[in-house]
Amino acid sequence: MDYQDIESISDERFEYVLRLCYKIDVVIDENDGGWLGGWIINYYNRLQHGKIKPPFTWEAFCDNEDIIATLEGYGLDVEKFWLVLLFIYDLTMDKTLNLADFRKSQYEVLTDIQSYLANRPNARLYLSDDKDIPKDNRCEITSPMVLGALRRFVQENLTLLEEHPEQKEFRSVSYENGFDTQLSASYQQIFMYKQLDTLFNVLQLPEKRAKRGETVSYSKLLLISRLIYFCRLTRNEAFAVDSSSLKGIIKEYGDYTFPLTSKVYF
């Protein structure tokens, strides 16, 4: 499918994407005001520049009779749903495969360093551009002058943060080469489940039952399970047949909150 004719996020085909983003990516200011975050712009730009390369196609999506029958049974627009599915897939990959740990604030990091140096008078400093390089291949620093300068740097910055407590919770997102943490397929599945479940709530899909003679399924959980399988987040064919496998994933991983920082949709 060609996306070049989508001129902006205001295109009607972006309706489902926009409605989902108003639920999951809203920035709240100190006055409790809110505005749309940047995820939808990131997605639009990535779509326009061919940065999203899923292991599935528009044609295969349209040929998936089970998924299409359910979508049409709910009265959903197939093309709009395709675009929001691409967004959710791209978001899922970023939030589970391109991660860095920024859970500690600058203040917490400085406090940890200060405590470590205070309790270990013979501490050494090692510099490396690769966390897996053996200690012998790193730059080892034992100079009292350098370590003393580090102690002063830490203390000076802690003092500044104490004077400006509103900055204590700041977490840096400028780390360019450290997005190497990856979560397993189960976390990918639960993340996609949560986004699709939120989408269905936003779209206010009604509770429906198949009429006599209909073969279409109106199970939202089964639809999510089939979409997870279609998006290649699992090779388990049972996901395309019933929702029991997904229920097991939800039971085990449903409380995970995804605290790490991702590279694209941060």
Task: State residue 263's pLDDT score.
Answer: 83
Do residues 17 and 86 make contact, with C-beta atoms less than 8 angstroms apart? Answer: no
> Per-domain residue ranges for the chain?
57-100+178-262, 106-167
Determine the Cα–Cα distance for residues 26 and 21; give it in Å rounded to an integer: 7
Determine the Cα–Cα distance for residues 51 and 73; give it in Å rounded to an integer: 32
212-221 pLDDT, tens digit each: 878 899 999 9
Mean pLDDT of 92-121: 84
Nearest-CA neighbor of 106 among 150, 158, 170, 157?
A: 170
Mean pLDDT of 117-135: 75
Mean pLDDT of 98-112: 78
pLDDT at 177 exceeding the cut of 60: no
Task: State residue 174's pLDDT score.
Answer: 45
User: Cβ of 80: how many Cβ atoms within 10 Å?
Assistant: 20
Tokens representing 198 are 């939120």
pLDDT at 192 exceeding the cut of 90: yes
Task: State residue 181's pLDDT score.
Answer: 80
Task: State residue 215's pLDDT score.
Answer: 81
Mean pLDDT of 89-115: 85
Apex 242 CA angle, 75 and 62, nearest 5? 40
Confidence band, pLDDT 50/70/90 cuts, at residue 176: very low
Confidence band, pLDDT 50/70/90 cuts, at residue 172: low
Determine the Cα–Cα distance for residues 187 and 253; give it in Å rounded to an integer: 7
pLDDT at 121 exceeding the cut of 90: no
Rounded to 10 degrees, what is the CA torsion of 250, 47, 61, 87?
A: 20
pLDDT above 70 as % of the chain: 89
Do residues 21 and 40 make contact, with C-beta atoms less than 8 angstroms apart? Answer: yes
Mean pLDDT score of the chain: 89
Task: State residue 130's pLDDT score.
Answer: 62
Residue 239, classed as helix, strand or coil, is helix
Confidence band, pLDDT 50/70/90 cuts, at residue 30: low
Q: 180-209 b/e with 16+ CB inside 10 Å = b? A: eeebeebbbbbbbbbbbeebbebbebeeee
Crossing angle of helices 185-202 and 78-97, rounded to 10°: 140
The least confident of 74-83, 136-145, 161-170 is: 161-170
Mean pLDDT of 36-60: 96
Confidence band, pLDDT 50/70/90 cuts, at residue 199: very high
Output the pTM of the full model: 0.74
Phi and psi at residue 129, to the nearest 5°: -100, 10
pLDDT at 169 exceeding the cut of 90: no
Helix, strand, coil fractions of the chain, as percent rounded to 5: 55, 5, 40
Determine the Cα–Cα distance for residues 93 and 188; give it in Å rounded to an integer: 7
The least confident of 20-24, 47-51, 147-151 is: 147-151
